[in-house]
Amino acid sequence: MEEEITVYDRIRRQYLDEIFSRDYSSRLMELGVQANGNEIIIPFFKKPYRVSANGIFDPSGMQPSHSVSVVLCKYLLLCPDIHPVGDDWVSYRDFRDAAPFAGSFANNVERAIAGNFRGKLTELQGACLKLGGYPPQVSLSYHLAMQFDALPKVPILLLFNDLDSEFPAQSSVLFERRASKYLDVECLAMAGWLFSEYLRNEGVKP
């Protein structure tokens, strides 16, 4: 365990050193984040995280999980120079180089959501609202369709059909095509896994 923590701390430190060796003042607006003194405030699923040269902290002042830290750091590091086009919705497997993670994404995100909320449409609706979900602008024929702001420039679309007499529960988690300009495919997978976990946790709260 000590060795794993040391490795994670070293990776986090490398990312932070790279981030704060750059001048981000002209790029914060493009990312939809704010500067507060020496900190950068990044909303991740509606919760403000503070990123500074001293570390990464969640709203309670604690260090978030390694996955959250990596996603936040990569979001800052991969900021595109030009606002990318491609706001159409695509599945995770449609991203270039996503093949090594596609199976895990399907199992740990889409099938996990379907399994956790099978026969629990009302609970899923409540969990979505707690996580900041809102109706998408497009009209879709599903039992539930909700959009989320994983990051300011990386929305996620959840499509869910509950089980019936003929079909099992099914869910799809989609990204905008341009999401790969803000996060690499590994971080997009991480964002999806965290989304599934957050939904499950919100769904079991009283």
Q: Can you give the pLDDT at residue 200? A: 96
Cα-based torsion angle of the residue sequence 86, 96, 100, 75 in order, rounded to the nearest 10 degrees: -50
Residue type, 164: D
Query: What is the distance between the alpha carbons of residues 119 and 20, in angstroms, rounded to a whole number?
Result: 47
169 vs 1, 32, 103, 146, 161, CA distance in Å? 38, 35, 18, 16, 6
Sign of CA dihedral 45, 204, 57, 17: negative
Clarify whether residues 165 and 70 are in a common domain: no
User: Phi then psi for 191, rounded to 5 degrees?
Assistant: -60, -40
Confidence of residue 5 (pLDDT cuts 50, 70, 90): low
Residue 99's CATH number: 3.30.310
> What is the C-alpha separation between 131 and 123, in angstroms, rounded?
12
Confidence (pTM): 0.92
* Separation between Cα atoms, residue 109 and residue 173, nearest integer Å: 8
Are residues 175 and 131 located together in one domain of the fold? yes
Is 103 in the same domain as 192?
A: yes
**One domain for residues 94 and 183:** yes
> What does the pLDDT look like over 142-190, one tens digit per residue?
999 999 999 999 999 999 999 987 899 999 999 999 999 999 999 999 9
**What's the whole-number mean pLDDT along residues 52-76?**
96
Q: What is the pLDDT of residues 13-41, one digit of tens each?
A: 999 999 998 877 777 888 999 988 889 99
Q: In which domain, by residue range, is 153 found?
A: 89-203
SS3 call for 86: coil
Q: Is residue 171 domain-resident? A: yes
- Shared-domain flag, residues 53 and 102: no
Tokens describing residue 156: 């996620």
Among 77, 101, 118, which residue terminates a domain? 77
